Each structure stands twice: as C-alpha cells, then as structure tokens.
Amino acid sequence: MAARAQPLGWGIRAGGGLALALVAALTLGTLAALAVRAEPGRGLGAGDWAAVRFTLVQALLSAGLSVALAVPAARALARRRFAGRGVLVALLGAPFLLPAIVAVFGLVAIWGRGGLVSAAVAPLGFGPVDLYGLRGVVLAHVFFNLPLVTRLLLLGWAAIPAEQFRLAAQLGFGPRETFRHIEWPMLRAVVPGAFTLVFLLCMTSFAVALTLGGGPGATTIELAIYQAIRFDFDLARAAVLALLQFGLCGVVALLAARIRTEAGFGGGLGAPVRRWDTAGPGLRRLDGAVLLALGLFVGMPLAAVAVQGAPGLAELPASVWPAAGLSLVVALVSAGLALALGLGLAALIDAARARGRGGMLEGFGMIGLAASPFVIGTGLFIVLHPLTDPFALAVPVTASVNAMMALPFVLRSLLPALAEARTVDGRLADSLGMAGASRFRLVVWPRLRRPAGFAAGLAAALSMGDLGVIALFAPPEVATLPLLMQRLMAAFRTEAAAGVALVLVGLTFALFWVFDRWGRADAEV
Amino acid sequence: MRQLPLAAALILGAATALPAQDRPELVIYTYESFVSEWGPGPVIAAKFEETCACTVRFVGAGDGAALLGRLRLEGARTEADIVLGLDTNLTADAAATGLFVPHGIEVPTLDLPVAWDDPVFLPYDWGYFAFVYDASRLDNVPGSFEALIASDVSIVIHDPRSSTPGLGLLMWVKTAYGDRAPEIWEGLRERIVTVTPGWSEAYGLFLNGEVDMALAYTTSPAYHLIAEEDDAKRAAMFDEGHYMQIEVAGMTAASGQPELARSFLAFMLTDGFQSVIPTTNWMYPARVPAEGLPAGFETLAVPETPLLLSPEEARDARDAALDEWLRALSR
C-alpha cells in the first residue's frame, strides 16, 4: 500500500483543498455572515413549510422522471449509429444552456395555451393544454435535465469496454441479459450521482418554478429565501431556510451516494464498441421511436427560441458586443477554475473511495448547487462591503461563484473516469512506480479528457447564462448578456431582448461545443 | 489564476471612467431599469452634471423592498447620497429606519392626483396600475374586477413578494374591496394563468399571446404607440378605480454632502429631469414640464377614481393583504 499512498501530485491535492475551501467559504461562509448580521425575525411560518414541501415534491419528481426517461434515451443512443447522431448528441447539450426566462418562453411556445400542441389538439375538440402548475414546473425541469442526464449516462455507456459486449455476444446474451449483467451495473454506478445533480438543480429553481407554477401554491424555498431577504429583510429566517435547503440536499446526496456501487468492469483496450444483441427489427423501431421523441421534445422549444429571437437580431443594441465579451471572459475563467478545482477535488474523492469512503466529501462538493444565489450574494456583500468596494470585484466574484456552482458537474463527469483509471490501470501504474505528473499525463488524462471537455463546456455554459450574482454586484456600465437581456425587457424592448437571447444561446452553444469537441477529439461519442 | 484580477481590472477600467479628482461625486442608488441605457439615468446624469460641478454615479441596487434592504444592509456606512425608486408602499418603513433625513426643500406645485406633504421623500413620477390588453386580440374587455371574474379573459400577474407592481395589485384589490378582498382573489383565481416573479416574464407572456391581459400601467401603451407605432395595446379601465404608484427619492443621513444631495432633489422637480421621464420610464412626470407631455400621452385612458393608501395605511395593510392573497391562491 505504501507505493500507492501518493499517486496524486501535490498540485492536484492543493487543487482539491482549494476547491473545498471555496465551497465552504461561498456556502457556509456566506450563510454564517447572514446569520451574524441577522436580527431576531419571525421564524418559519406555514407558508415557508408549504414552500419546503412543494420544493421537495417537484425536485424529486423532476429528478426521478429525468433519470427514468434518460435511461432508454441514452441506451438507444449508445447502441445505434445513424446519420445525424452527432447533431442529436450536440443538441442534447443545448437546453441546459438556456437562461431560465428564454427556456420558459420556448416551452410556452410549444406547450402553452397558445402553443403548438394546443393548436394541434384544438381541431380534435380538446381545450388548450393547461401547462401551469406542478406539471409545468416538472415539464420544464425535465426539458432542462433529461438531455443532461442522457449525456451523463452516455459517458457511462462509453466507459463500458468493447470486450464486455464481445464476451456477452459469445455467451449468447440477448438484450435482456446484456442489460442485467452489463448495463445495469453501470447504471447503478452512474444514476445515483446524476439523480442527485438534477435534484439539487431543481431544488434551487426560481424563475422557472415561479413562472410556470401557476400561483403561490408553487412557491419554492428559493422564493421564500428571496422574500425573507428582499421583502421582509428578515435575514435570520433566510439563514434558517438556507440551512434547511442545505440539510435536505445533503440528505439526498448522502442517500444517493449510499445506493451507488462501483461497476468494476475491469480493463479494455479501448476498441470501438460493437453490439451483437440489438439487431432485431422490433428493438430497432423502439430505439428509433425513442430517439425521435427525444429529438422533438428537445428540438421544438429550441426552434421556438430561434424563431422568436430572429427578428430581434436586427435590433441588437451596440452594447451587446461588450456584454458578450464580458460574458465570454467570465465563462472562460469560471470554466478554467471549475476544471482545475474539480480535478483536484475529484482526485481527493476518488482516493477516499479507494478506501471505501468519500461519500461525505462527494456530498460536500455537490452542496454548492444547493446554495441560494441570494444568500451567497447577500453574504458576500456583508463580508466584502466593509473591506472594499464590492463593485470593483464584480467579475472575479462572479467567476468564483459560477465556478463553485459548476463543480458538481465537473465532479459528476470526472469521477467515473477517475474510478476507471484507478481500477483498470492503477495496479500497472503502481508496479511501474508511476506517480505525479507522468502518472497523470499517461494514465489518468487519456481517460479524463472526454469527460473533462464535457464538464468544462457545461461550466462555461452555466456561467454564460447565469444572472444570479453579477446582477447584485455589477455597476450599470457593466453588463453580461443575461443582464442586458433583463434590462431590455424592463425597457419594453422585448424583441431586442429575444435577439440578445439568441446571441447568448448561440455563443453559449458554440462555447460548449468547442470544449466538448476538444474532449472528444479522439473518440466517436 | 493570475490573469483573473488583471482581466477584471481591464474590463472595469475600460467600462468605468474614473471620476475627476477635484469634482465631488454624487452617488444615487436606484433600480436597474432606471440606469440602463434605455432608462432615464444616463440623460439625467448628464443634465445634472452640466450644472452641479460634480459627477453623478448611479448604482443599480434592486427595486422596491430590495433597494431599501440594500440600504439597511449598509446602514450608516452606505456610499449613497440619494436613494431613488422607493414608492409610497415602502416610505413608512423607509422613514422608520432613520437612514433618511428630511429634504428641507420648498416643494413646487406638483401634478399629482393627491396632495403631497411628506417631509422626507419627494416624488419624481407616478402612474396607475392597470391590465393592458391588445385590442386586435381581445374584444370583450372587462370593466371591473367583478366583470373580469365573470369573463373568460386570462391574465398574468406578478408575485407581490418579488415584484413592486405585484405588491401594487395587492393594494389595489385591498383598497377597492377592503374586507371583500379575499372573495375577489378567490374569484380571480380562475382567470390567473400564472404568477410570475417579475415584470419581464409577465409582459413577455402577454406579448407572446399566451394571456389576454398583463398587469402593467395605464402609461405602458404609450411605449407601443410612440416607439412602435402600435395603437392596439390599451389599458382596461376598471370602475373600482385604479391604484397609484408614486415613485419617490430621499437623501440619506449618511451622506457627507447634504447640500449637493439637496440640490439634486431640487433638480429632480425641474424640466431637465421631468421631461426625460415620460418616454424613458414610461410614467407620468410628477411635475409636467413646460413643453407638456409628449405627443401620444393624450390618447391614454385616465382612470376616474385614483386609489392610494397613505404610507402608514399601506404598511399596516401589507402583511394581512399578503396572507389573504396567499390563502386565496394557494390551492
């Protein structure tokens, strides 16, 4: 064991430590700042508890449905090769990148009372589709997250060595046996983490949940926090709610980590996967139908966003370009930061997992997603205001917060690959005495490159679409694209705002694509 | 990592011109849309700077309660000399914080439908809340809340906990119906398609055709008329009367330059400031400038009965009205 005690370079360990420190400072630190500054408030009321209930229900439903639907979708994608597959995989990266308000308008154009679906069923004598309420919230969250989970599961499928399927074919496995013996163990390793991720994302939903929720019955904890800070100036209640949110997220993250098992496929030579079990015409049609449904579900609201935004492109204000530049800088810095910190933290977690632990560390790394942007912003403000002008720090603060928010995605993407590098190549590397940089470069990185590109793309995209913290800190001359969009909408310039949204979506998608492509440069998935 | 502060410095340095050292700086906290390039802020800053030998710096600090919350967070350490953008639903709370001082200005004649005698806050614009519709899409326009309840017209409103107009609607129903307010909300429930966190989502849903009417102002159609030459957007007139929003500014106790702050508040009620308001903030100016209102404003419907609670009444009614609203609309 002594030889494998230090397979990680000190740089990676330092990155992991820094990541933990950043998460702790931005989540618990800001929460503590709020609590210290608070005066006695009125405590949690019935409305707050109703918000807690609704938040939990919608987050569990959204995460459960996203994962349940992503399994057949990812399986169909993993076992079929067809023209346009690359486009579909790329398209799956898109919904997640949409700023909430843009996604809402896209979804309403399809599923709303005046939307395409309502128009299509009207001649059949059905009234308009009633989108608003719990179903609207869950629909929107599935629209955001089903494609994300599909991509994550696809990474899992890609990590199954081709030799496994070859062996399965020799043993005469049909689709059912293949699922039970090969795919199910992989899913048990990947699904709990993906579920946690979506659950956390949905827990902190604000604009989507409110706009599609239909009324105050659909209040989330996030709105209750907003109300406490902004409307009632009751920082104590905000701190209690934020703590509750952390607690609930922590419990779910821990439970999910407990269900998770390592897949343990052993090694492979990295040959392209061939499948012998999926040639039947029935399966082929089934997969075709699944993929068509997926493409329509994801593609139609995206098309609506493009249609709504196109006329606005002619009305773009000149300020869109500096805003785009700033958004790009912040996105690139946060992506770099998120990747560096995430790599370190993932390595720490993986080392702990090798000793059968790591659940707590993993949960802690994910907790950034459970943090309320309003609490982070207000807490940072309380801490920074006496020391310096918070406005001067708008960009670094925003980049750090965005990086922390992206950490869970980086972890989710990197951890399976790290586990694979450890279980598959670890002993050989140990016996060769490889450590530090050369071990990282030759053993770990080749497996890490693909998920790292995907994760960096997600991190950059998340940052591009983020409005949260910069809105609190930016002076009026400084705008990111989402901020500019909001200002245009407040000034009635809805069409120009839709144009800016389209620019934002285009740039974000391009950024994601570049990173993702870089990661997949040597692979077919 | 090393590039991070550098990049930030470059961007911020390029974006914010440093104030000249010998000129005092007047810091004004306000809401985002006031200071955006389409809002009144930039023109007003330039005009005031012509006369004051100072630099005006606007800070977008949230709207309504959030703006007040920001000031309370900063307390006596605040940089703000002026806070601009509170309304009369908040001024009682704001005055009670002790963070504001009386303006000490002799108030000129104002063009408000109500008398003004607040010693701390001065109004700069005002408007009536109203539901806006598109005459090319909606024929049977309801003429009251009760007619709206009886109709099949769909509306979108804002959450009063996160939106100032949302709070205004709460006060509107409360003022018009008093103890009957819960019953009205109960009836409106079927007409409300959804409740959005703020202006952008609600107005967007209306313009996209998802709902028949959206909560806005009687002056909102002026934007469509003047900037887009679209005269189909109109405000529905309700028999109960329309609740008003009066937007105000005040000077902070923490300001180190009360004279400069006071001169800005005086400037606020002159033509230089007031003539900018109608076509940037799309509200009525508190004091109509010499050249009158811009062409197009004369076409706007004017409610017969203005409704407004005093700041103290509004403060006292707020929490109970919110509870009623929550109870009626949470199923």
Q: Alpha-carbon distance A168 to B233, whole Å?
A: 67
Q: What is the CA A48 to chain-centroid distance, rounded?
A: 26
Give B168-184 as a DSSP string.
HHHHHHHHHHGGGHHHH
| B172 vs A34, more confident | B172
**Nearest C-alpha in B relative to A320:** B37
Q: Residue A113: list chain B partners with CB under 8 A.
A: 154, 193, 210-211
| Residue predicted with more confidence, A278 or A513 | A513
Residue of B nearest to A102 (CA): B201
pLDDT at residue A394, rounded to an integer:
76
Closest chain A CA to residue B65: A231
Asked if residues A23 and A407 have their Cβ atoms less than 8 Å apart, the reply is: yes
State yes or no: pLDDT of A13 exceeds 90.
no
pLDDT of residue B83: 96
> What is the predicted pLDDT for the residue at A268?
67
pLDDT digits (tens, 9 = 90+) for B269-322: 999 999 999 999 999 999 999 999 999 999 999 999 999 999 999 999 999 999
Q: Which of B8, B197, B330 has its CB closest to that of A217? A: B330
Please say if the pLDDT value at position B82 is more than 90. yes
Q: How far is CA B259 from CA A144, B95, B148, B262, in A?
A: 53, 20, 50, 5
Note whether B25 contacts A: Cβ–Cβ < 8 A.
no
- Kindly state the percentage of chain A with pLDDT values over 90: 16
- A116-153 residue pLDDT tens: 888 888 888 887 888 899 999 999 999 999 999 998 89
Min Cα distance A212 → chain B (Å) is: 7
Chain B: nearest CA to A358, how far in angstroms? 28
| Interchain pair B32, A487: CB under 8 A | yes
Which residues of B fall within a CB distance of 8 Å from A378? 73
Average pLDDT over residues A197-216: 86
**Most B CBs within 10 Å: which of A212, A472, A477, A493, as the mutation test of the B interface?**
A477
> Does B194 sit within 8 Å of A217, measured CB to CB?
no
Chain A interface mutation, best of B2, B36, B97, highest count of A Cβ atoms under 10 Å: B36
Q: Fill in the amino acid letter for B149.
A: I
> A273 and A165 in contact (C-beta within 8 Å)?
yes
Question: Is the predicted pLDDT of residue A73 greater than 90, yes or no?
Answer: yes
Which pLDDT score is estimated for A369?
81
Tell if the CB–CB gap between A494 and B209 is shorter than 8 Å. no
Provide the shortest C-alpha distance from residue A353 to chain B (in Å).
29
Size of interface A-B (CB pairs under 8 A): 176
Cα gap B125→B127, rounded to integer Å: 7
A419/chain B closest Cα distance in angstroms: 28
Q: How far apart are CA B155 and CA A218, in angstroms?
A: 17
> Residue A318 has what pLDDT?
86
Which position has the higher pLDDT, B278 or A394? B278
Return residues 300-329 of B near A (CB < 8 Å): 325-326, 329
A424 has a pLDDT exceeding 90: no
Q: Is the dihedral of CA A131, A137, A140, A142 positive or negative?
A: negative
CB atoms A490 and B36 under 8 Å: yes
pLDDT in tens, A151-176: 889 888 887 887 778 888 888 888 88
Cα separation values, A282 from A66, A288, A390, Å = 25, 10, 61
Name the phi and psi angles at A275, rounded to 5.
-115, 135
Alpha-carbon gap: A69 to the closest alpha carbon of chain B (Å): 27
Confidence of residue A231 (pLDDT cuts 50, 70, 90): confident
With a cut of 60, say whether residue A2 has pLDDT above it.
no
Report chain B's mean pLDDT, rounded to a whole number. Answer: 90
- Among A135, A395, A480, most B C-beta atoms within 10 A, so best to mutate, is A395
Q: Which of the residue ranges A94-98, A521-525, B10-14, B231-235 has the most confident prediction, judged by mean pLDDT?
A: B231-235
Specify the pLDDT at position B7. Answer: 40
Helix (H) or strand (E) holding B284: strand B284-285
Contact A399 B162 (CB under 8 A): no
The reported pLDDT for the residue numbered A468 is: 60
Asked if the Cβ–Cβ distance from A489 to B7 is below 8 Å, we say: no
Interface confidence, given as ipTM, is 0.82
In chain B, residues with a C-beta closer than 8 Å to the C-beta of A227 are: 161-162
Query: pLDDT at residue B17 above 50?
Result: no
Alpha-carbon span A338 to A409, nearest angstrom:
9
Task: Provide the CA A348 distance to its chain's centre, in angstroms.
Answer: 21
Q: What confidence tens digit (pLDDT) does each residue in A34-68 have? A: 888 888 777 787 788 888 999 999 999 999 999 99
A46 and chain B in contact, CB less than 8 A: no
In this predicted structure, the answer to whether residue A82 has a pLDDT above a threshold of 90 is no
Q: Which of B163, B208, B277, B324 to mutate to test the interface with A (most CBs of A within 10 A)?
A: B208
Q: Do B39 and A223 touch (CB under 8 A)?
A: no
Q: State the smallest CA–CA distance between residue A469 and chain B in angstroms.
A: 12
Residue B98: how many CB atoms within 10 A of its CB? 10
CB-based contact B159 A223, cutoff 8 Å: yes
**Helix and strand totals (H; E) in chain B:** 13, 12
The answer to whether A491 contacts chain B (CB < 8 Å) is yes
Predicted local distance difference test score (pLDDT) of residue B177: 96
Between A436 and B246, residue with greater pLDDT: B246
For residue A233, which residues of chain B lie inside 8 Å, CB to CB?
A: 65, 68-69, 72
Contact B160, B322 (CB under 8 A): yes
Q: Which of A14-18, A417-421, B3-7, B299-303 has the lowest mean pLDDT?
A: B3-7
Better-scored residue on pLDDT, B149 or A205: B149
Residues of A in contact with B204 (CB under 8 A): 101, 105, 489, 494
d(CA B322, CA B307): 18
- Residue B179: count other Cβ atoms within 10 Å of its Cβ: 8
pLDDT band at B26 (very low <50, low <70, confident <90, very high): very high
CB atoms inside a 10 Å sphere around CB A269: 7
- Is the CB of B36 inside 8 Å of chain A's CB atoms? yes
Q: Is A9 on the interface with B (CB under 8 A)?
A: no
Q: Which residue of B has its CA nearest to A101?
A: B201
What pLDDT sits at residue A522? 59
Q: Tell me phi and psi for residue A116, to 5 degrees.
A: -60, -45
Direct distance between the N- and C-terminal alpha carbons of chain A, in angstroms, rounded to an integer:
36
Q: Is B153 on the interface with A (CB under 8 A)?
A: no
pLDDT at residue A525 tops 60: no
B218 touching chain A per CB within 8 A: no
Residues 221..240 of B with a Cβ closer than 8 Å to A: which? 223-224, 227
Tokens of B299: 């076409």
Q: How far is the C-alpha of B283 from the C-alpha of A459, rounded, in Å?
A: 41
Q: What is the pLDDT of residue A266?
A: 64
Report the gap between the CA of B240 and the closest CA in chain A (Å).
24
Report the percent of chain B where pLDDT is more than 70.
93
B254 touches chain A (CB under 8 A): no
Whole-model pTM?
0.86
pLDDT at A245 over 50: yes
* Percentage of residues of chain B with pLDDT beyond 90: 80
**What is the pLDDT, as a whole number, of residue B10?**
39
What per-residue confidence (pLDDT) applies to A72? 93
Which of these ranges, A329-338, A371-380, B81-90, has the smallest mean pLDDT? A371-380
Q: Averaging pLDDT over each range in A354-363, A391-400, A506-515, which range is the top one?
A: A506-515
pLDDT of residue B245: 96
The residue with greater pLDDT, A16 or A56, is A56
The first and second tokens of residue B284, run together, are 């009525």
| Residue B267 confidence (pLDDT) | 97
Cα Rg for chain B, rounded, in angstroms? Answer: 21
Contact B204 A105 (CB under 8 A): yes
* Partner-chain contact B36 A113, CB within 8 Å: no
The reply to whether residue B35 touches residue A476, judged by beta carbons under 8 angstroms, is yes
- Whole-number pLDDT of residue B158: 93
Contacts of B210 in chain A (CB under 8 A): 108, 112-115
pLDDT score, position A509: 86
Between residues B240 and A89, the one the model is more confident about:
B240
A471 in B contact zone (CB under 8 Å): yes
Among A6-20, A285-299, A318-332, A368-382, whose mean pLDDT is lowest?
Answer: A6-20
Instruction: Write out chain A residues lying below 8 Å of B59, CB-based.
Output: 391, 475-476
pLDDT tens-place string over residues B130-161: 999 999 999 999 999 999 999 999 999 999 98
Residue A265's pLDDT is 66
C-beta atoms of B195 and A308 within 8 A: no
A45 close to B (CB below 8 A): no
What does the pLDDT read at residue A275? 73
pLDDT-based confidence at B167, cuts 50/70/90?
very high
Residue B9 pLDDT class (50, 70, 90 cuts):
very low
Two tokens, residue A472: 């609190």
B2 or A411: which leads in pLDDT:
A411
pLDDT at B165 over 90: yes
Q: Do the Cβ atoms of A212 and B203 come within 8 Å? A: no
pLDDT score for A282: 81
Report yes or no: B138 at the A interface, CB cutoff 8 Å: no
Does B331 contact A478 at a Cβ distance shorter than 8 Å? no
Closest Cα in chain A, distance from residue B200 (Å): 5
CA B217 to chain A, closest CA, distance in angstroms equals 12
Query: What's the pLDDT score for residue A489?
Result: 85
CA–CA distances in Å: residue B72 to residues A233, B78, B323? 8, 9, 25
Residue B8 — very low, low, confident or very high, per pLDDT cuts 50/70/90?
Answer: very low
Q: Is the pLDDT of residue B59 over 50?
A: yes
pLDDT at B227 over 60: yes
Q: How far, in whole angstroms, is CA A134 from its chain's centroid?
A: 21
Contacts of A471 (CB under 8 A, 6+ apart): A483, A486, B32
> What are the beta bridge partners of residue B243?
B307
Note whether B69 contacts A: Cβ–Cβ < 8 A: yes
Instruction: Please give the average per-residue pLDDT across A288-300, as a whole number.
Output: 93
Pinpoint the alpha helices (H) of A93-133: 100-111, 116-121
- How far apart CA A315 and CA A312 sit, in angstroms, is 5
